[in-house]
């Protein structure tokens, strides 16, 4: 595996292929084309049209908005606009997946953010000395948010939790290293 191959595979693993949007677009365009093909074929062999002949469709289209119910026209246009924006944004936005990469000499290692969050939550919980239900960790690409609800009467040191979570991130060689934000809740809960 050359470094270029590795970078390419890693980039592909970390971003979405947009298969869902591609299949949606393909199905819509294929259905439209099938219908147009059918009407064009009817026209070319001189048979009566199925729904409307191409001429009638053109007359309808060029007569808009007088030829259609204004409410239906607006609603249909909105639906088409929404579909178009969905496809356009799918094509333009980077589409990052909720994953991080880890360096490894042999393989490309990809870790789901949820897996990282679980291991960070375990470490933060041990550091703060609270039950699993009192810690919530959210991992995104550049930020790790740790929320701890301390047990009533037992204070939790935010600095220690922060240091522990950062150490756990470094130990797991998460690349690039996200920023860590620790929030200790004002009110405590009854400990388990």
Residue bearing tokens 């890693």: 10
Q: For residue 179, list its beta bridge partners.
A: 143
Work out whether 48 is an interface residue with another protein (CB under 8 A).
Answer: no
For 189, what's the count of Cα atoms within 13 Å in the CB-facing half-sphere? 13
One residue of 7, 51, 88, 143 binding another protein per CB under 8 A: 88
In the set 7, 50, 52, 80, which binds another protein (CB under 8 A)? 80
Question: Considering just the CA atoms, what is the radius of gyration of the chain in Å?
Answer: 28
Q: How far apart are CA 69 and CA 62, in angstroms?
A: 15
Q: Is 23 in the site for another protein (CB under 8 A)?
A: yes
When asked if residue 56 is in the footprint of another protein (CB under 8 A), the reply is no
Shortest distance, position 187 Cβ to another protein, whole Å: 25
Q: Which range of residues in 65-73, 147-155, 156-164, 181-189 is near another protein by CB under 8 A?
A: 65-73
- Which residue in 51, 52, 96, 126 binds another protein (CB under 8 A)? 126
Q: CA-to-CA distance for 109 and 103, rounded, in angstroms?
A: 7
Interface residue with another protein among 7, 51, 56, 70 (CB under 8 A) is 70
Residues 146-175 that bind another protein (CB under 8 A): 171-173
Residue 30 engages another protein in binding (rule: CB under 8 A): yes
Pick from 73, 157, 160, 185 the residue near another protein by CB under 8 A: 73
Selection from 131, 135, 148, 138 nearest residue 184 by Cα: 148
Q: Considering the rule CB under 8 A, would residue 74 count as an interface residue with another protein?
A: yes
C-alpha distances in Å from residue 16, one per residue of 13, 22, 99, 165:
8, 11, 11, 28
């Amino acid at each position: 595996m050359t470094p270029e191959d590795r970078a390419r595979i890693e980039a592909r693993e970390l971003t979405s292929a947009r298969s869902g949007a591609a299949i949606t677009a393909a199905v819509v365009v294929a259905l439209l084309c099938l219908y147009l093909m059918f009407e064009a074929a009817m026209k070319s062999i001189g048979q009566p049209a199925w729904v409307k002949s191409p001429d009638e469709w053109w007359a309808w289209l060029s007569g808009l908005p007088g030829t259609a119910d204004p409410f239906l026209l607006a609603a249909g246009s909105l639906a088409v606009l929404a579909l178009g924006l969905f496809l356009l944004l799918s094509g333009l936005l980077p589409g990052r997946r909720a994953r991080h990469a880890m360096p490894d000499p042999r393989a490309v290692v990809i870790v789901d953010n949820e897996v990282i969050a679980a291991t960070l939550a375990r470490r933060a919980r041990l550091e703060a000395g609270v039950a699993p239900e009192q810690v919530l960790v959210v991992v995104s690409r550049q930020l790790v948010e740790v929320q701890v609800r301390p047990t009533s009467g037992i204070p939790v040191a935010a600095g220690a939790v922060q240091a522990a979570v950062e150490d756990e991130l470094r130990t797991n060689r998460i690349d690039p290293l996200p920023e860590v934000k620790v929030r200790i809740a004002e009110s405590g809960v009854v400990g388990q």
